Amino acid sequence: MTSILTNNAAMAALQTLRGISSNLQQTQSHVSSGLRISKASDNAAYWSIATSMKSDNGAIGAVSDALGLGAAKVDTATTAATSAIDIVGQIKNKLATAMEPSVDKKSVQEEIGQLQQQLQSVAQSASFNGENWVMAKNGGSASVVSSFIRGTNGTVSVSTTSYKFDSSSVGNVLFGATASGTLDTASGILGTKNTTVGASVFSLDISKMTSGQISSALNMVQTALNSMVSMNSRLGSISARIDLQTSFASSLSDSIQSGVGKLVDANMEQESSKLSALQTQQQLAVQSLSIANSSSQSILSLFRG
């Protein structure tokens, strides 16, 4: 039976066209955005995971920046410590020279005095972003960000590596600092007075010393050198950890980004093929609807005389 009120063929063709148009719109969205899951309604579970991991990746990026800042602080301190070791090594050489009875000790002391002033300059200038790790108050501490952690229970945290300052003769700073932050030349590896010699590396004056006294001063300087080497080693271990964490953070960020991509990125080859197929289906559905609509026109021939 043919009805002019109800065209079942047209309704079926229209329903098919609607489905194809919906699929085509979705595919076009995938192609234009590059994502097969761009909102929660596409796939709530995957969208939730991807959103959380993208947030974590952003935090890891921030941690990487903080690691760079921490590395700069430690590198500044390491550079100062290395320079100070070289200068104290020169003082050691001058003392060895002064052991010769015929050497003018006052002339040697003038050279040592210049080296001592350079030690002070090195310590005072080793500051990065307002922090100085080689000239610090005893008992104080500094820290650098070391990692971003997401716990298995969903909590997040940022861990830090601390460096506690010790301004004793066997500590980890070249000089101590006063409460106001100025240089304290009476503390630290270079400023703490040796009871046997009666002076520190910084205050040492050999002008009137005997060979025996200079020998004691030489041992004091060697002890200071040993402490400085240990200090530099501690700084180096922190620097190495920062480098490892920076490398790990970069690799972790790439892995997370790759994992998120596998969850939500569109397969462009597949979407391209699907788009071509849907465009063809859409053309055929339009043609089918046109045929279904034209069938009702044939009824008019029944009423022609």
| Cβ atoms within 10 Å of 139's Cβ, excluding its own | 9
φ, ψ of residue 141 to 5 degrees: the values are -155, 160
Considering the chain, what is the average pLDDT of its residues? 86
Determine which of 13-27, 134-148, 203-217, 251-265 has the lowest per-residue pLDDT on average.
Answer: 13-27
Q: How many angstroms separate the CA atoms of 227 and 171, rounded?
A: 7
201 vs 14, residue with greater confidence: 201
Average pLDDT (189-217) is 94
Per-residue confidence (pLDDT) for residue 15, from 0 to 100: 84
Structure confidence by residue, pLDDT tens digits, 226-250: 999 999 999 999 999 888 888 888 8
Residues whose CB falls within 8 Å of the CB of residue 244, separated by 6 or more in sequence, listed in order = none
Residue 120 has pLDDT above 90, yes or no: yes
Residues whose CB falls within 8 Å of the CB of residue 181, separated by 6 or more in sequence, listed in order = 137
pLDDT interval class at 166 (50, 70, 90): very high
Per-residue confidence (pLDDT) for residue 43, from 0 to 100: 85
pLDDT interval class at 90 (50, 70, 90): very high
φ, ψ of residue 175 to 5 degrees: the values are -135, 155
Average pLDDT (36-51) is 85
Average pLDDT (118-147) is 91
Nearest Cα residue to 190 out of 94, 272, 117 = 117
